[in-house]
Amino acid sequence: MIFRPVEDGDLIERARRGDVDAFNLLVSRWEKRVYNYLLRLVGNREDALDVCQDVFLKAYQNLRKLDDPARFAAWLFRIAHNEAHSLFRKRRPESAEESEQATGMAVAVGGAGILPLELSLAVASALERLTAEQREAVVLKVYQGFKFEEMAEILGCPVSTVKSRLYTAFGILKTRLSPIESGGKR
């Protein structure tokens, strides 16, 4: 007997017919990617976990509204995008100074090189200094591997806007991270 891997489309159809186990399989396939995406957007584990649960609850409740099962990933990440932005709207905006104190970390590199942890922290700090739109575009492209068209669908904007956000963000990241590449020398 030969088993073929169960495709997302098959699981979606089964879940639409009320098969909770099929939806649970979808959750287990996608929860790590959605959680990591949300963690990079919202900035802390507790909020990312809460929002991730909300995303899958909304996905389950609205699965019948998904027109094309082949677009499940973009549809799911659009829900995650919307839920993260709902959380941002509920929060009171921080002042720029508070935000810098919370996330700001100087990228100071000695001549001995940089450790992987220091590099990760420097990248995280540089990402935090991007606008929310730029950061989200970078996360979708670099960390999640979405195509421009999928990103445009998730973000609800034209492909040209996605490309512009990425171009600007990569320029900022290059400037912020160049001291690391040059060993702290400019």
pLDDT tens sequence across 54-98: 999 999 999 999 999 999 999 999 999 999 999 888 875 553 333
Convert the pLDDT of each residue in 128-144 to its tens digit. 889 999 999 999 999 89
Domains annotated for the chain, with CATH where assigned, are 1-91 (1.10.1740.10), 106-186 (1.10.10.10)
Contact 33, 144 (CB under 8 A): yes
Sign (positive or negative) of CA dihedral 155, 157, 160, 161: negative
pLDDT confidence band for 106 (50 / 70 / 90): very low
Q: pTM of the prediction?
A: 0.74
Host H or E run for residue 174: helix 159-181
H helices of 43-115, where?
Answer: 45-61, 72-90, 96-103
